[in-house]
Structure 1
Amino acid sequence: MDDLKLLRELRADAPEPDADMLRELRKRALRRRRRLPVMPSVLVVAVAAAAVVVATAERPQVTQAVPATVLLNAETALEQAARAAEKRAAPSRPRPDQWQYTRTLGVQPATGERTEQEQWIRYDGKQTASRRPDGTIRVVDVAPDPGDDDLPPQGYARKLAELPTDPDELLRHVTGDRHWIDLPKGEGSAEGGEDPASRAYRVLGVYLGQQAVMPPKLEAAIFRALAKIPGVTIEQGVTDAAGRVGLGMYRPELGYDPTVSRRYRIFDPTTYRVLADQTIYLQDYLIRGEVAFRKGSVFSVTVLGSGIVDNPGDVP
């Protein structure tokens, strides 16, 4: 998917998105999963909604200084994360009619535009909701899409319950899971073969984002499995869009020069909870010879709050 093409298609004067528009934007964002790890499904909805608001804003591109970071031993850092995860209390099982709430801060690389979004997704996935600028809550029905690889929170909970907690068995399971090999179906999904290590990194990253339903022993196994994937790197001192300094995890991606851009999953250095999914441009990023994003530009989906609530509009 050409992200710049998507941005050009969205106008600053676009009307408030209806259910069909939000669903299509969400699908387009999720198709990037073939080569990149992503945040939880509700965060992708937030990115899509934010794009309608901020795309193609006529303002100078805002950049920030590329931060200095410290390279850590990935195996040691991820083992520390696993031990922290093992100490967590198991989350309670939400009811199908409860809602997963997320407040995010989105940053657009072309303009530096920063937009906060509050999103809710029903645990069974039948509806999503968002807070309008006037404070009212907009609820949207979600039709089932069997060709999509994204799942509602309840669907992720079922997937997680099936996963082994031995790191080696976990890696074998996720690399052979047909759900992540065959889906999504449709425009933009066929991007060529994906090697097992890349698939494992992508899928485990998706699972790590499901914090509301994550069993502690499985979370620990995910961190230990990530340590076994070649190329996984951990850096200390990566700052998210909210100014929080954490540990940034990334892995070189096919077709992307890691000296030009890096897509981090940023963790809290104490709790090892996910703080953000953030791409930092270390050099000017060119498309067809033209500068698309300047050095220091950031694309970020930063988590400011999350939890399970009873109704859309509720905040934990």
Structure 2
Amino acid sequence: MDEMTRLRELRTDAPVPDRADLAPGRRRLTDAIEGRSRRTFRLRADWRIASLGAVVAITAAALFVTQIVDTSDPRQSGPATVAGDLDLSGPAAALGQAADFLERQEVPPEPRADQWIYLRQGSPEQEKYWKELPAEIRDRTRWSYRPDSWVPYDDKAAENDTSDTDYRTARESYRIAAGLPEDPEALLAKLRKVFPSGTGPESVPETEDAHSFRALTTLLESYPLPPDALARMYRAMATIKGVGVTDHLVRDAFGRQVVAVTRAHDQNTQREILLDPVDYSYAGRREVVIRTYVVYGPDDSDGPDRTVLRPGDILSDIARTRAAVVDAKGQKP
């Protein structure tokens, strides 16, 4: 057992402090010390969970839509106040600050070919929805709620499968990121080639800016990524037209306070990439209603299946709570 494991076990009963409260002090401590400045649960680029069929479409909408619980103004004093020296005044400031921090981090060695990538991600709403689905529907869908997943870092079979142009193995993603150019415009152009438009599962038309955002966030969901490459990605993200940053920390699916990088998806919704306010790692994604609209039932009537969605309603909310490189499938850090 190493020293860090002993330290963690020393006070296992101690309450966990709020991560946002720790952010500024932890960042300053890091700076001072350094003195230098497929397949189990796939996250697809279209952000949608695999279809469960028309028979459960309205049920899914009703169960996945959640109201924001904390209705207090997060800019006032309280648990959702912007922490310390986090600059959330705009995408250039926030993502530039994240890039500055990541550029000071040591680049760890690339995982070995025999290692595995462990991820834990999901949401209480997804788990609830899965448990409440009738067994006959669960048996017919290809989707299931499994928050823990393991994928091999070196997955040659997946690398040779070209059926999904938005999917890359962990090793492919790592090396794509490591080879990204410094120039934001060149970086985004390269990612648009890596994740081409019009070949995904929905093949919907998209503008160049929408394509850039989709391609970049698809790679961002991969793990691990070199910190210097992640810094270049954040600087490029800030240049995409329509990208914004919420001026306060928001709550993710598990109540953690996170930074939300936003971009409108259509006239009714916006997509949000969630970042850890301490180390700026990827923490999840959300799709949030920004304009009131109505979802009708199968017969397009104003019957009981009609659902009114309002600004602030959350259509999907996926949080990543753990990510690590491990030595074997089934191993947890």
**TM-score normalised by the chain length of structure 2:** 0.64
- Distance in 2, matches of 1:201 and 1:120, equals 26
Q: Residue 250 of structure 1 contacts residue 264 of structure 1 at CA under 8 Å; is this kept in 2?
A: yes
Q: Which residue of 2 aligns with 1:4?
A: none
Q: Which residue of 1 aligns with 2:179?
A: 162
Report the structure number with the largest CA radius of gyration.
2
Aligned match for 1:146, one of 159, 162, 180 = 162
Is the aligned partner of 1:118 residue 2:118? no
- Distance in 2, matches of 1:95 and 1:292, equals 50
Q: Which residue of 2 aligns with 1:223?
A: 234
Q: Residue 102 of structure 1 contacts residue 118 of structure 1 at CA under 8 Å; is this kept in 2?
A: yes
Q: Which residue of 2 aligns with 1:65?
A: 69
Unaligned runs of at least 5 residues, structure 1: 1-21, 39-43, 128-141
Aligned match for 2:307, one of 288, 291, 302 = 291
Report Cα offsets for 1:65-117 as digits up to 9, x if no partner.
36545672221111101101112221321122211000113244796679661
Secondary structure, aligned partner of 1:249: strand
More strand as a share of residues:
1
Report Cα offsets for 1:151-191 as digits up to 9, x if no partner.
1101112322331122232123223x15423633xxx4322
- Distance in 1, matches of 2:329 and 2:70, equals 38
Q: Which residue of 2 aligns with 1:205?
A: 217
Q: Which residue of 2 aligns with 1:106?
A: 123
Q: Residue 41 of structure 2 contacts residue 146 of structure 2 at CA under 8 Å; is this kept in 1?
A: no
Q: Which residue of 1 aligns with 2:285?
A: 277
Aligned match for 1:247, one of 234, 255, 259 = 259
Aligned pairs (5 A) from 1:20-99:
30=44, 33=45, 36=46, 63-65=67-69, 67=71, 68=73, 72-99=89-116
Amino acid at match of 1:266: L
Report Cα offsets for 1:256-287 as digits up to 9, x if no partner.
42xxx332111112211111112234566533
- Distance in 2, matches of 1:107 and 1:281, equals 19
Aligned pair in 2 of structure 1 residues 156, 178: CA closer, same or farther (>3 Å)? closer
Instruction: Give the CA deviation at 1:218.
Output: 1.8
- Distance in 2, matches of 1:237 and 1:75, equals 16
Q: Residue 284 of structure 2 contacts residue 320 of structure 2 at CA under 8 Å; is this kept in 1?
A: yes
Q: Residue 108 of structure 1 contacts residue 298 of structure 1 at CA under 8 Å; is this kept in 2?
A: no
Unaligned runs of at least 5 residues, structure 2: 1-37, 76-87, 132-144, 301-305
Aligned length in residues: 255
Aligned pair in 2 of structure 1 residues 269, 109: CA closer, same or farther (>3 Å)? same
Aligned match for 1:196, one of 184, 191, 208 = 208
Amino acid at match of 2:249: G
Q: Which residue of 2 aligns with 1:233?
A: 244
Q: Residue 265 of structure 1 contacts residue 276 of structure 1 at CA under 8 Å; is this kept in 2?
A: yes
Q: Which moved more, 1:150-159 or 1:292-301?
A: 292-301
Q: Which moved more, 1:196-205 or 1:61-70?
A: 61-70
